[in-house]
Structures are given as C-alpha cells and as structure tokens.
Amino acid sequence: MSLIKELDAFRKVHGGNFTRAGITFADNMVTYALNKKPWRGPLYVDWEISYKCNARCTYCDSWKVGMESKIPDVSTEVAKKTIREMGVRGVWLLIFTGGEPFVRPDFLELVKEAKNAGMNVSINTNGFFLKRDAQKIVDLGVDSITVSVESHESEVHDTVRRTKNLFKMLSEGIEELKRIRKQKPAIKVRMEIGRDSYKRAKAFIEYWQDKADGIVLQPIHEGIGKDIFVMSEEMKFKTDDKTEFDKEFSLLAKQYSWMNNQYYQEFSTFFFDKEELYKKFKCYSGFFYLQIDPYGNVYNCTEYIANVGNILHQSFDEIWYGQKMNNVRKMIKEGTNTCVCHYYCTGPVNCSMSKVFGNTRKDGAMLRTHSGKKIGLSVDAPMSNHEQR
C-alpha cells in the first residue's frame, strides 16, 4: 500500500496519464526483478537542458560552467530527435532542469515536442521568466513546475541567489500562472535545507502554503560525481547540530501532514549519518530513470555516477539497450555500487521499492564519498550471464 500511495502522490505532482505511467513502471519493475531486457524506457528522464543561468546562487556554479564552457549545448534538432525517441519508448515524464531552462532560446519548442510525443513535462526553474512565458506554458499543457525559492523574504532570497528582483519576478510569475490556468500546471516551491536555513523552514511553509499548490524541502548537498554544487561552511551541518535539528524537524513533521513520509524522516540521516542510508536503501537508477546533461551525455542518475552514452552519437534505444547501460543495471541490482545520494536513495521510487525488494548490498561496499574523493562506476567490463542485448 505504501508503494501505491507514494507513487500516486508522485503522479499527482507531475500530472496524469496514469495508464502510460503504470505500464512503464510495471515494465521497469519486472526488468529489475527478473533481469530481463526492458520493453519500455525508464519511468522518467531528468534533462539538464543547459548549465547557463541568469542567477548567481552562492552554492551553485552551474552558471559559471555554462558561461565558461566551450562545448555547445545539444542542438535543437538532436534534442527533438531524442525526445521523440523517448516518447516512442514509453517514457512517462520528462523533467527539464538546468541551469535555468528558460534561458535556452528553443526551450519551449522542446517542451512542445515532449508533449506531442505523449510525455508529461515538468520544469524546474528559478521562476524569473514565468510571467513572461506564462501563457505559452499553459497553452503547451506543461504538467508541473517546481520553483526554487530560498526564503519567504525577498531580501534573503535575492541575496542567496545574487539576483536583483528575482523573488518579485518568481512571485508574479506564480500568480500569473494561477490566474490564467484552468488546471495545469501544478506549481510547487522548493526550499534548500541546510545549517543556515532550516530554522526558517516553518516561516517559509506558512508563507507559501496558500500561494503554491505544494511545498518541497530538499537537503542541500555537494555533488558526488559533478562539481556544480559548492557549499559554504555556514551551510554544512556539524555533528553537534543534530539534537537541535531533529527537534526542529520533528515539530514540522507533526504540524504538516505532507511531511509524514520516509523522504522527510531521513533528512537527519542524510545530514548526520549518510552511510546509514546506504544500509537501508537500494538504488534503482538505470531501471526507472536516467539523466542527460547539456552536452548530450547520458548517466544512470543525477549525480553523474556512470556515463552510459551520448545522444550526439547514439539513439536513445542504443543507449538504453547498450552494453554500458546493461553493466550499470547489473551493478545496481547486485548492490556493488558504492555511492549514495538523497535524490534517489530516499526518493518516491526507492523508499518503497527497497521495502519490496529489500536491500541486498554487497558486504563491505560502503559509502566513501563527500570527503573529496569522486566516485565513478566502471561500466566497460563485459557483462556475464544475463546480457540483455
């Protein structure tokens, strides 16, 4: 029942099309359980469509990477081709993120392509351009939008984002979308939780709960396989912060029923004892989801742990059914990966799926990251008995 409830909540956030979602999810699940060749693609794909960004967040260097990179973003033509291929393969949800997706000139063309391909579309944005493009967003049928917001106070938000009037612009954009939409898109605001911000979470919730359709809290963190997120010492929790954090967060969970799930229950574990997450949950990347970066590289997860191909040189099917992808699935299934991240280890799929399948990590395969050492999975070794293609 927990699995059904959590997945239904995920569906409500990101839109309907439940038949497509159900068929793809069932195939992903059977693929995992039986080591079979997938019939359909992953349940969802997260695509960082560009690192370029109009904001200059204190903890994110995406804008700098986008500005300094000499590698061009994937072209409109290649992006549309890949989107069509994902649609044919039965992907249910395409999440566009960045950087800031709206700074890419052809972004709404790509949204239209995804909707025409039968997929639900979700957009992660800083909200600056929402008012400008509100009518187009509604007309295209975007299913959900998540706006990153640091605070309920404009001065705090704009200081963290180092972007003048950003709070004003995102607030006006949210209001405009609510005014003109009939039903979609669903609008959520997301706050990063860190040592310097968790005490304002209650005021944040109180301010936004009547202004947005939902609220998401996310633990701020540094990346494992990529170096875009850089936390200051003020953002990082210390061991002696645990008691106060647990008290504050438990009070929030008692007051707000939507926080009564395992995702929020594991925040303290993520901040103060990450290895415990590794013991409790398995990863399902490469089975239920994929990640694409602005340059066409495809990874098993958002932390860029294993590069399994590039859409500039391969079709989506060639990557999804390729040797590297099969090898990643084998590692994930056997539990020999040594990485852990909050996005997927306690996300909507993994919490419940770990209850269904249990955690069968290999003994000794413990987390050794967040200490300056990067992790990467070796995916080039040939696959053994259950090679799928």
* Pairwise CA distance, residues 221 & 194, whole Å: 8
Mean pLDDT of 328-333: 90
List the structure tokens of 95.
């999440």
pLDDT digits (tens, 9 = 90+) for 12-65: 666 678 899 999 999 999 999 999 999 999 999 999 999 999 999 988 889 888
What is the pLDDT, as a whole number, of residue 187?
98
Mean pLDDT of 292-308: 93
Reported pTM? 0.90
What is the pLDDT, as a whole number, of residue 297?
97
* Pairwise CA distance, residues 191 & 103, whole Å: 22
What is the pLDDT, as a whole number, of residue 346?
47
What is the pLDDT, as a whole number, of residue 194?
94
278 pLDDT exceeds 90?
no
What is the pLDDT, as a whole number, of residue 18?
87
* Pairwise CA distance, residues 347 & 277, whole Å: 12
Find the radius of gyration of the CA atoms of the chain: 20
* Pairwise CA distance, residues 367 & 126, whole Å: 32
Q: Which residue has the higher pLDDT, 269 or 361?
A: 269
305 pLDDT exceeds 90?
no
H-type alpha helices, the chain: 2-14, 18-34, 62-68, 76-88, 107-116, 130-140, 154-161, 166-180, 201-208, 242-255, 262-265, 267-272, 274-280, 316-320, 323-334, 342-345, 348-357
pLDDT digits (tens, 9 = 90+) for 122-165: 999 999 999 999 999 999 999 999 999 999 999 999 999 999 99
| 3-state secondary structure labels for all residues of 203-233 | HHHHHHCCCCCEEEEEECCCCCCCCCECCCC
* 123 and 101 Cβ atoms separated by less than 8 Å: yes
* Pairwise CA distance, residues 360 & 55, whole Å: 42
**What is the 3-state composition of the chain as percent helix, strand, coil, each rounded to the nearest 5?**
45, 15, 40
Mean pLDDT of 328-336: 88
Mapped onto helix, strand or coil, the DSSP state of residue 47 is strand
pLDDT digits (tens, 9 = 90+) for 335-369: 887 776 655 454 656 777 777 776 655 544 433 33
List all residues 6 or more positions away from 222 whose beta carbon is below 8 Å from its beta carbon. Answer: 229, 230, 231, 370
79 pLDDT exceeds 50?
yes
List all residues 6 or more positions away from 103 whose beta carbon is below 8 Å from its beta carbon. Answer: 50, 52, 53, 54, 129
Under the banding of pLDDT at 50, 70 and 90, the label for residue 372 is very low
Phi and psi based region of residue 194 (left: phi greater than 0; alpha: psi -120 to 50; beta: remaining): beta
What is the pLDDT, as a whole number, of residue 124?
97
* Pairwise CA distance, residues 266 & 298, whole Å: 28
* Pairwise CA distance, residues 157 & 153, whole Å: 6
pLDDT digits (tens, 9 = 90+) for 156-202: 999 999 999 999 999 999 999 999 999 999 999 999 999 999 999 99
pLDDT digits (tens, 9 = 90+) for 221-248: 776 666 677 778 889 999 999 999 999 9
* 177 and 144 Cβ atoms separated by less than 8 Å: no
Burial 127-161 (b: 16+ CB within 10 A, else e): bbbbbebbeebbebbbbbbbbbbbbbeeeebbebb
